[in-house]
Amino acid sequence: MNVSEKAAYIKGLMEGLKVEEDKPEGKILKAMADLLEDLSLSVLDLEDENAALNEYIEEIDDDLADLEDEVYCEEDYYDDEDGLDDDDEAYPCVELECPACGEPVYIDEEDLDKIDELECPSCGKVLRLVEEEELEDKE
């Protein structure tokens, strides 16, 4: 039995007792039964809204996970033993270690040749991807 059904049951019990509503005790019992009914409807509405919000949050979480995979080239594509997970497609990325914080930084292999420096998402320090001599040769 849910909350609304329980409130209706209590209201039915009260009506079955044939409580006289013009007496103080009857007024109190009727008011309490009405309050229980209102509260039960409010609880049911909150439960529905909560379920809808949970679904929405799960959708946002899934979208965010997809975005993180796309932007940060997450390590979930790799396992510890032989490189690629059997379930995942190959996603070519390179793992670098930030010299400042020691956290791994992932970059797409295609982007590796195109950029000279990268900001660490953990600490914000700018990482140089090429040596200074190589930068001078490019100029």
Per-residue pLDDT of the chain (139 residues; tens, 9 = 90+): 888 888 888 888 888 888 788 888 888 888 888 899 999 999 999 999 999 999 999 999 999 988 887 777 655 544 555 454 545 555 577 788 888 898 888 887 777 777 888 888 888 888 887 654 444 444 4
CA pair distance 60, 53, nearest whole angstrom = 10
Q: pTM of the predicted model, to two decimals? A: 0.45
Indicate the SS3 state at residue 51: helix
* Model pLDDT, residue 46: 95
The enclosing H or E element of 13 equals helix 3-16
